[in-house]
Amino acid sequence: MLISNRVKQLNPYVPGEQPKDRVYIKLNANENPYPPAPSVQKAVMDFVQNHPEKLGLYPDPDSLELHAAIADMLNKCGGVLCRAKCEGGEVKPADEDKIPFTVTPDMIYTGNGSDEVLSFVFYAFFDSSKKFVMPQFTYSFYPVYAGYYNIPMDQVPLKEDWSLDVDEMLARAGKNEGGIIFANPNAPTSLGLTRDEVRQMIKKASPDEIFIVDEAYVDFGGESCIPLLAEFKNLVIVRTFSKSLCGAGQRLGYIVANPELVNIVTTVKNSVNHFPIDAVAQVSGTAACRDVAYYAETSRKVAQTRDEFYNFLREKGFYVLKSQTNFLFARHPAIPGDELYQKIKQQGLLIRHFATKGIEDFVRITIGTPEQMAELKKAFEEVLK
Ligand SMILES: *Cc1c(COP(=O)(O)O)cnc(C)c1O
């Protein structure tokens, strides 16, 4: 009776395991296998050594320097790191990724990981009186927030090829009037819609409903929807430092949206936690954004390793989705997903299995370094013998 009814109804997110008992090669949480750029390590060391007094003071509540650095990074890479061109120390977007306007700092809002950002975005734009629409299989934190804020949801099954059923999502959004959210590329399927497909989708959706695209993985080969912000006032793009910016440990996520929407999320933030980004994360995040070339290179390496491992899995008889992310979603005709996960674990590597009905045959494999993937290949060879 000490506990509120609200808490009794909570259904918290279960992250990929982080075991402490044994050292595994960890390919289960879509973390980046590469360390942050040397320039980021140096910036953090300098800050702690030369400005220890700042650890005793509150950080900038508005993270202004960080927001400027994020905007600058997006303008330089076009929002897709793995395709950014690095010429003579300068970074430029690939032609297809060019943003037809300049992203400005007032279009950025940052939070303590994009999980927190998503929580505030849910609170800001979804309502408990209307169902919002999302795919049946997508980032499993969305239903958790729906439960937390008591927002009803309408989950739309994927098509047979595991892609989003765009028409059905629009039909339901039209009926519910509560907004739309999905990850693009989607998780755990790894498949993405093109920017033009999303454009057609938003055009048909109501301009009075919020349209949220979670681009956690877009840097590894998807198409960013940032250029669409010039056309649509109801679009919110959510992004993170955890995957392509090698920064899951520093907890930084952000949105890119028109300033009016940024202000609304900021109001929510200031009603919960004035200082979500600590001083060290502001320093490390800013330094990361200023080293676009390093992260363009690491994102390219991850994408290349992924495509090689995709071929390996196919050769081994797996059904594998054609990934635009830093993970592969695959199933083997002869071994159930949970058994595969267990057997790989016995070999000293962690991959992810979801017990969720409908995708229980699959495993999700995070792309590591070529050396880690060579170990995983050995483990698969052993298990499939
Ligand atoms: C990893 C992930 C996030 C969360 O990232 P954090 O910034 O680490 O909280 C958000 N959305 C999707 C789809 C993800 O896969």
Nearest CA to ligand 1 atom 11: 216
Per-residue CA distances from 168 to 128, 174, 234 (Å): 22, 10, 20
User: Does residue 112 carry a pLDDT above 90?
Assistant: yes
Average pLDDT over residues 342-361: 96
User: Does residue 16 carry a pLDDT above 80?
Assistant: no
Atom of ligand 1 lying closest to residue 118 CA: 10
Please tell me the distance between residue 83's alpha carbon and the centre of ligand 1 in angstroms: 21
Least confident span in 20-24, 53-57, 189-193, 205-209? 20-24
Average pLDDT over residues 360-385: 97
Atom of ligand 1 lying closest to residue 29 CA: 1
Tens-place pLDDT, residues 46-77: 999 999 999 999 999 999 999 999 999 999 99
Q: How many helices (H) and strands (E) does the chain have?
A: 12, 14
User: Does residue 214 carry a pLDDT above 90?
Assistant: yes
Q: Where are the beta strands (DSSP E) in 301-370?
A: 319-320, 327-331, 349-350, 363-366
Q: Where are the beta strands (DSSP E) in the chain?
A: 25-26, 85-87, 90-92, 108-111, 132-135, 153-156, 180-183, 211-214, 235-240, 253-257, 319-320, 327-331, 349-350, 363-366
Cα 58 from Cα 307, distance rounded (Å):
44
Please tell me the distance between residue 354's alpha carbon and the centre of ligand 1 in angstroms: 16
Q: Higher confidence at residue 328 or residue 1?
A: 328
Please tell me the distance between residue 252's alpha carbon and the centre of ligand 1 in angstroms: 10
For residue 8, what pLDDT is reported? 86
Tens-place pLDDT, residues 283-337: 999 999 999 999 999 999 999 999 999 999 999 999 999 999 999 999 999 999 9
Nearest to 262 by CA among 127, 110, 123, 132: 110
Nearest CA to ligand 1 atom 2: 216
User: Does residue 21 carry a pLDDT above 80?
Assistant: no
Amino acid symbol at 193: L
For residue 68, what pLDDT is reported? 98
Percent pLDDT > 90 in the chain is 93
Cα 117 from Cα 268, distance rounded (Å):
10
Tens-place pLDDT, residues 242-278: 999 999 999 999 999 999 999 999 999 999 999 999 9
For residue 88, what pLDDT is reported? 82
pLDDT band per the 50, 70, 90 thresholds, residue 203: very high
Strand-pairing partners, residue 212, are 181, 236
Classify 108 as helix, strand or coil.
Answer: strand
pLDDT band per the 50, 70, 90 thresholds, residue 1: confident
Which residues have CB under 6 Å of ligand 1?
30, 113-115, 139, 183, 187, 214, 216, 240, 242, 248, 253
Please tell me the distance between residue 118's alpha carbon and the centre of ligand 1 in angstroms: 9
Mutate to test the pocket of ligand 1, among 32, 109, 114 (most ligand atoms within 8 A of CB): 114
For residue 211, what pLDDT is reported? 98
Mention every residue, 6+ apart, whose C-beta is less than 8 A from residue 187.
Answer: 30, 138, 139, 216, 217, 325, 327
Please tell me the distance between residue 114's alpha carbon and the centre of ligand 1 in angstroms: 6
Average pLDDT over residues 163-175: 96
Please tell me the distance between residue 185's alpha carbon and the centre of ligand 1 in angstroms: 12
Mention every residue, 6+ apart, whose C-beta is less than 8 A from residue 339.
Answer: none
Mutate to test the pocket of ligand 1, among 243, 255, 354 (most ligand atoms within 8 A of CB): 243
For residue 218, what pLDDT is reported? 98
Percent pLDDT > 70 in the chain is 100
For residue 348, what pLDDT is reported? 95
pLDDT band per the 50, 70, 90 thresholds, residue 215: very high
pLDDT band per the 50, 70, 90 thresholds, residue 22: confident
For residue 11, what pLDDT is reported? 84
Residues 40-62: b if buried by 16+ CB within 10 A, e if exposed: beebbeebeeeeeeeeeeebeeb
For residue 13, what pLDDT is reported? 83
Token pair of 308 as six digits? 């090689």
Question: What pTM value is reported for the model?
Answer: 0.96
